[in-house]
Chains A and B, each alone.
Chain A
Amino acid sequence: MRSVFLGVFVELFVNARFVYEQVGNEFLVLDAEGGTVVRVEGDEAVALNRIINGQELEDSLSSSLQRLLELGVVTESTRGISRRTALGLGATAVASGFAVMAMPSAAYASSACVFSLSGYYADGGSVIAVCVEIAANTCGYDKLEVRADGDVLTLSGELGDGDISGTTVDVPIEFTFSGTPTTVQARGTFAAGGAASDWVTLTSA
């Protein structure tokens, strides 16, 4: 389409790689290749609507158009060259008029648990002692699972030591391991099964 923008005729297009849906006065713009979706509202949605419908843009929408260009949702084609090819998820993403989200994975959709921990481990030869502090546990994970170099370890002490109680597991928990690990990780799990948290890499004491 051809639009007037600040007194200059430029051709504006919705980037061909994007799929969009108008929902009420807003747009959801999907970058299927990049795996992100943007919700566009306010003046940016007005500008986008005009571009889609081949209408001219008033100067008052210039800043909104600029943000759409920066985000890559709209491309400006002069001499057949399209400048923008991808969603820019930097400063523009947090500007008013936009909300950007990575398309959720199946595993992500299954768990919104906030679970963050930090910790360290001490390598004692065949035994690893792990200490962690849990900063947030909104899902109430009640077990801690530890792996070294990808192998899930079993507790060598009392099973109860692996239980999450409160927010701090301050007594070293001992796990048996043969060899010297290069990467030790921990995560929260439910004793009864269900989605676990992400693995968090621990530092060596």
Chain B
Amino acid sequence: MVARTAGRKFVAEDGTVFSVAITQSSARLPAPIEDFLPPFGWSDYRGWRRPVKAFCVNVDERNSLLRFESDFGLAIAEHLSGRVAIHAAVISFGPATLLLPGRSGSGKSTLAAEALRQGHSVLSDEYCVVSEESLEIVPWPRPIRLIQFGGTVERQKIPGSSSSAVKTPTHVVNLAFVPSQPEPLRVEAMSHGQTAFALLENTVCGQSRPRSSLAVASELARRASGFAGSRGEALDAFPKLLSMGRKPKNSK
């Protein structure tokens, strides 16, 4: 088996250049790397600027592709321009748009998959990309990634992903998924300051663009109701999240 490695360079929205070493074996038909690239925020680069970071991906190996999808997506999300990415699932139902901030393992993808199963619109299971100017949310429709027992990852495509932005979210639900917790969804209203703090904690560019992160998190929190708590099982939690989303915004 002969392995060949080719280089490819990408430029992010803010001008940062990344290089990717793509290895493939001539023995197999490789998976197209395009399926594992972020939905936007990058373009091919053929200039001479020095890459700031290099990625390696073996397109013959699914695990390598999944890791690349996660790592490269994070790099692109950090280097957007005029937009701030927040680590959050975004679910739209009726007039309400629900943000579920949280990091890996908090249950965002499970809730997003459940929302999809129930016929709601999922804009992303991973990043809420917010325009700094309009505060509109740009969908980041990568496939939902569900970690299965044993560590394998199931990728579930988001059907009919909307390419247009949606308005500012109406609700922010900062949920902690505690697997061992048998109780159903239990949330309490957060103050707007707590909501902003929780959003800020999940911004991807918190260190590289702290002022933009602060401004976006604060303005989102002023406009949305925030809740915090634990969610229990996704199937039980989702109807309650929906009914909560239909309630008027809190006045804090």
B is a partner of A: yes
A interface list, Cβ under 8 A from B: 19, 21, 23-28, 30, 32, 35, 37, 39, 41, 99, 101, 103-107, 109-113, 138-140, 142-143, 190-195
CB-CB < 8 A to B217: which residues of A?
A: 28
Pairs of residues from A and B, 8 with the lowest C-beta to C-beta distance, nearest first: A26-B193, A193-B67, A112-B103, A24-B192, A193-B66, A142-B151, A139-B105, A21-B218
Could you write out 13 A-B pairs with CB less than 8 Å apart? A21-B215, A24-B193, A39-B194, A101-B201, A112-B103, A113-B105, A139-B105, A190-B151, A192-B63, A192-B151, A192-B152, A193-B67, A193-B70
Minimum distance in angstroms from A51 CB to a CB of chain B: 18
Bound Cα distance A113, B105 (Å): 7
- Interchain CB contact under 8 A, B104 and A112: yes
Minimum distance in angstroms from A164 CB to a CB of chain B: 9
Number of interface residues, chain B, beta carbon within 8 A: 52
- A25, A101, A109, A110: the one within 8 Å of B193 (CB): A25
Bound Cα distance A6, B121 (Å): 58
CB-CB < 8 A to A139: which residues of B?
A: 104-105
Closest to B62 in A: A192
Minimum distance in angstroms from A192 CB to a CB of chain B: 4
Minimum distance in angstroms from A135 CB to a CB of chain B: 15
Q: Which of A37, A101, A106 gathers most chain B CB within 10 Å?
A: A106
CB-CB < 8 A to A28: which residues of B?
A: 193, 196-197, 200, 214, 217-218
- Interchain CB contact under 8 A, A104 and B67: no
Bound Cα distance A143, B152 (Å): 12
The segment out of B160-168, B202-210, B232-240 that lies at the interface is B202-210
**Assuming A103-B207, A109-B103, is B151 touching A191 (CB within 8 A)?**
yes
- Interchain CB contact under 8 A, B74 and A21: no
CB-CB < 8 A to B151: which residues of A?
A: 140, 142-143, 190-192
**Assuming A23-B218, A39-B194, A140-B105, is B70 touching A104 (CB within 8 A)?**
no
Tell whether B59 is near chain A: CB-to-CB under 8 Å: no
Once A and B bind, how many residue pairs between them come within 8 Å at the CB atom?
143
Extra contacts besides A106-B208, A192-B66 (20): CB < 8 Å: A19-B211, A23-B222, A25-B191, A25-B193, A26-B193, A27-B193, A28-B193, A28-B200, A103-B207, A104-B203, A112-B103, A112-B104, A113-B105, A138-B179, A140-B105, A190-B151, A192-B63, A192-B147, A192-B153, A193-B64
- Interchain CB contact under 8 A, B210 and A109: no
- Interchain CB contact under 8 A, B104 and A111: yes
State which residues 201-252 of B face A: CB under 8 Å.
201-208, 210-211, 213-215, 217-218, 221-222, 252
- Interchain CB contact under 8 A, A193 and B201: no
Q: Which of B66, B67, B77, B206 gathers most chain A CB within 10 Å?
A: B206
Closest to A22 in B: B218
Interface majority SS (helix, strand, loop, mixed), chain A: loop
Closest to A33 in B: B210
CB-CB < 8 A to B196: which residues of A?
A: 21, 23, 28, 39
**Assuming A112-B102, A140-B147, A194-B153, is B193 touching A103 (CB within 8 A)?**
no
Tell whether B119 is near chain A: CB-to-CB under 8 Å: no
CB-CB < 8 A to B202: which residues of A?
A: 104, 109
B interface list, Cβ under 8 A from A: 62-70, 74-75, 77-78, 87, 102-106, 145, 147, 150-153, 179, 191-197, 200-208, 210-211, 213-215, 217-218, 221-222, 252
Bound Cα distance A30, B130 (Å): 20
- Interchain CB contact under 8 A, A191 and B152: yes
CB-CB < 8 A to A23: which residues of B?
A: 192-193, 195-196, 218, 221-222
**Assuming A39-B194, A112-B106, is B153 touching A106 (CB within 8 A)?**
no
- A26, A39, A110, A194: the one within 8 Å of B67 (CB): A194
Minimum distance in angstroms from B172 CB to a CB of chain A: 12
- Interchain CB contact under 8 A, B67 and A105: no
Bound Cα distance A91, B230 (Å): 30
Q: Which of B63, B87, B193 gathers most chain A CB within 10 Å?
A: B193
- Interchain CB contact under 8 A, B193 and A194: no
- Interchain CB contact under 8 A, B153 and A113: no
Closest to B126 in A: A110
- A26, A37, A111: the one within 8 Å of B214 (CB): A37
